[in-house]
Amino acid sequence: MRTTPAPRAIALAATATVLLSLAACSDDGGGTGRGTPSAASTASPTTTPGDLSSQKLDWKRCPAPSNAQGSGTAPSPLPGGTPWECSFMNVPLDYGDPDGRTIELALVRARATDKDRRIGSLVFNFGGPGASGVATLPAFGTAYDTLRGRYDLVSFDPRGVGRSEGVECADDAALDARYEMDGTPDNAKEEKAFVDDLKSYISDCEENSGEELPYVGTTNAARDMDLLRSVLGDDKLHYFGISYGTELGGVYAHLFPKKVGRAVLDAVVDPTEDAEQSALGQAKGFQLALDNFTADCAEREDCKLPGSRAQEVQDWIADLLEKLEKKPVPGLGERELTQTQATTGIASALYSKETWPLLEQGLDEADGKNGGLLLALADSLNGRTQNGHYDNSGAANTAINCADSKQRFTLEQTKAALPLFRKASPVFGDYLGWGLMSCTGWPVSGAWDTPDVSAPGAAPVLVIGNTGDPATPYAGAKAMADELGEGVGVELTYKGEGHGAYNGGSTCVQKAVDGYLLDGKVPASGTVCA
């Protein structure tokens, strides 16, 4: 999911399983910068030093993820004993100065099981922007085991993410305070606190990572992927992009249309929308998901939330959030559940239908003055681990979004837009509307209003839209297919819930994707799966 506002889809495939493990927790306006160059280099996308294209990768057993990647334990071997291997690849910091400073990108792979029928490498990007592919792919590699038959499964931490020169902003204590503060100010005092916090956060980012900030945008990440393709020894890039990874894939196809192999884009970002349109679309998308959740709850006799109709359940949720604004409730340890954290927790649980039961439980417990579960859900989306450390997904998300998007919103422009956001979603409208200011005062000017993903001459790209997707609304799939161009974008619809389709439980979707990636069978554009 690409966002300028607060909620971020980090590692789409991870959401449901990680959050299910948290249930036990419930028991306890500025300009375009100060003259810093834009993130978009004017150099040719193929400008890469020859010694980098021919570099040899030193693959070794993977260590445990770093704090910036989300911490945890070293990945276990896959079924059959295949180990996860990690390495680093050198790339130019600035493709406009290809002989200048280089940085290292962290990589991970698992080798194909059928070496005689191996097609090549299948490169994954799990979204965000800001998700660590090195941490995410091993955590959910078994979900792609069928594809591992003929592909080496490969992912990476994009520049600015995790171990790839990860952007650093605020420390853990400052982030705790930042996420607890009111993200939907209602008066002049709260507005000042909101703006002051934003300025402080951006200042920390510039102080800690200022040299890298101009170069973390999507265009450079796409160039990195083409260098990765070359270093891996593949003539074509075979690619699986999820959420923001679909935008990255579209930009790659535009820059390198003749290098596109078999590519799948799942949970598609609308490339025709600017930052404000995207945020408004998300407000509508999350509202749709909340509508579906509350309708399901109202229809069940065992639902813990009061209300015999969906609107009654939503009114009750709105009342609960108003109570939390006036008086937070105990959360986890010394931390309380605030209105903003509760809204984040609700959004987090709407990414997958599998986590609807946790949302129901968390709301019920918060009403009983136990905010632990909703706070744990919010922590998951905010990148906070149980040891109190934050990964760098939030910092990377801001840095990449602001390197890409030209739009900068003043306080007055943001407040003027709020009525439209509230109309789109009574629950999430203010929350997402205030997020328009995320890049205000950022020290790097953005590269575009919207990305160019036109890719005439590219191989077919399978584009999958989910009708119930809250984070990347369904309309984005058609827009991406259209923008890729006739004969390139192939649209497939999944009538389901949650963010993404391939791991949504539809045999139809999996067969279509596997058939294309493994056998080159392109489904008919317009195919619909339930």
- Per the DSSP assignment, residues forming a β-bridge with 497 are 468
What span, in angstroms and rounded, lies between the C-alpha atoms of 260 and 516?
14
CA–CA separation, 268 and 367 (whole Å): 35
The two structure tokens encoding residue 222: 């796409």
Residue 494, H or E segment: strand 489-497
For the question of residue 389 being annotated catalytic, the response is: no
Is residue 449 classed exposed, middle or buried when 0-12, 13-18 and 19+ CB atoms within 10 A define those classes? middle
- Alpha carbons 488 and 263: distance in angstroms, whole number: 10
Catalytic residue, chosen from 164, 243, 405, 438, is: 243
Q: Which of 254, 391, 499, 506 is catalytic?
A: 499
How far apart CA 354 and CA 498 sit, in angstroms, is: 9
243 catalytic? Reply is yes
Please tell me which residue in 266, 270, 404, 469 is annotated as part of the active site: 469
The angle that helices 310-326 and 275-299 make with each other, rounded to 10 degrees, is 120
Q: Is 457 left (phi over 0), alpha (psi -120 to 50) or beta?
A: left
Q: 397-427 in b/e burial notation, b at 16+ Cβ within 10 A?
A: bbbbbbbbbbbbbebeebeebbeebeebbbb
CA–CA distance, 500 with 13 (Å, rounded to integer): 8
C-alpha distance from residue 377 to each of 7, 35, 88, 399 (Å): 12, 39, 32, 24
Cα-Cα-Cα-Cα dihedral sign, residues 462, 463, 467, 470 = positive
Burial 218-253 (b: 16+ CB within 10 A, else e): bbbbbbbbbbbbbbbebebbbbbbbbbbbbbbbbbb
Kindly list the distances between the CA atom of residue 493 and the CA atoms of 326, 375, 476, 524, in Å, as whole numbers in the listed order: 43, 33, 11, 11
Write phi, then psi, for 246 (nearest 5 degrees).
-75, -35
254 is catalytic: no
| Tokens found for residue 359 | 């949302």
Q: Which residues are catalytic?
A: 243, 469, 499
